[in-house]
Copies of this chain bind each other. A is one copy, B any other.
């Protein structure tokens, strides 16, 4: 007999990274009730990884009242393909080739299991628990070591014909001879300019190009991090502000172009860079407004994720259980 208590309302979110795999149990309000992790690299095969994961998750499930309370599991992982449920050729994970991870967890736990990449999971997290609640059309941009994106149209994530749609970090925004080399093997991708590492590259370029005094000159250029730029910018450092200005301009221009594609209600920006607040948001917004096609002017909001101080990766993965 169904009672109110027996309706499953909790979700398991799994964030698989090159170093750690983190497991969380999330309630409908986006609160993480239970959390634990294992070291990804300790498991050379997917079988041993799933076995260890399940051993790690079972006590968490018991703590919240048993598997009957869990409606499903979502996994965010590099090269996770929603369509196939597989991790496909992920360069930074120990398991090579095509790994049917969703099916493996489904067999082990008996609950519906979904997988996608981290940025798509982040977009789902925003839609279910964060800034994009109630939105049907938005684009999530994650500004981390790289630039990721998750595109939501009519309330659904865009996976495209092969499951890998939404790679806006690899939109080429510079085709000149001086375009920066990207990890994807090409040159001029957005992420070579607007990621944390892109910000550091811009910092090194601007420091070399002038003699303007800067707090950043006190740091070994090889050890410079994007958060050093944030700290300096917050102190009014001219070079740091110029780095944010340039980074924001490039991102704002790119977003104005992306609008011609799906005319989203909002862009949701996520990542350490966004802690700089208006110092980075203002140049983004100004470049966007200056460059967007007239028919779209004033329509699309540029917002910062409300999940930046939470374990957003777990929330995003858990939100996948809301997929149709």
Contact between chains at B294 and A175 (CB < 8 Å): no
| A170 contact set on B, CB distance < 8 A | 260, 293
Q: Tell me if B293 and A167 are in contact (CB < 8 A).
A: yes
- Chain B residues whose CB sits within 8 angstroms of the CB of A168 once the complex forms: 260-261
Contacts of A153 in B (CB 8 A): 153, 158, 160
Contact B167 A260 (CB under 8 A): yes
Within 8 A of B (CB), among A169-217: 170-172, 175, 184-186
CB 8 Å contact bits of A230-257 with B (1 = contact, 0 = none): 0000000000000000000000010011
Check B137 against A295 for contact (C-beta < 8 Å).
no
Asked whether A261 lies within 8 Å of B261 as measured between CB atoms, the reply is: yes
Chain B nearest CB from A36 CB (Å) reads: 32
CB pair A165–B263 under 8 Å, yes or no, is yes
Residues on B with C-beta less than 8 A from A185 are 294
| Cα–Cα distance between A260 and B175 once the two chains are bound (Å) | 16
For A186, what are the chain B residues with a Cβ–Cβ distance below 8 Å? 291, 293-294
* Cβ 8 A contact of A160, one of B165, B172, B262, B293: B262
- In the bound complex, residues from chain B placing their C-beta under 8 Å from that of A164 are 263, 295-296
Q: Is A156 in contact with chain B by the CB < 8 A criterion? A: yes
* CB atoms of A262 and B293 under 8 A apart: no
Find out whether the CB atom of A265 lies under 8 angstroms from the CB atom of B167.
no
Contact B165 A262 (CB under 8 A): yes
Interchain CA distance A294-B159 in the complex, whole Å: 17
In residues 138-169 of chain A, which contact B (Cβ within 8 Å)?
A: 151, 153-154, 156, 158-168
Q: How far is the CB of A202 from chain B (nearest CB, A)?
A: 17
State how many angstroms separate the Cβ of A84 from the closest Cβ of chain B: 14
- Cα-based distance from A256 to B170 in the complex (angstroms): 10
Contacts of A171 in B (CB 8 A): 257, 260-261
Complex Cα–Cα for A294 and B153 (A): 25
In the bound complex, what is the Cα–Cα distance between A261 and B262 (angstroms)? 9
**A37 on the B face (CB < 8 A):** no
Is A43's CB within 8 Å of the partner chain B?
A: no
Q: In whole angstroms, how far apart are the Cα atoms of A299 and B253 in the complex?
A: 28
Judge whether A283 is part of the interface by a CB distance below 8 angstroms: no
**CB pairs A–B below 8 angstroms (12 shown):** A158-B262, A161-B264, A163-B263, A167-B263, A167-B293, A167-B295, A168-B260, A170-B260, A171-B257, A172-B291, A184-B294, A258-B261
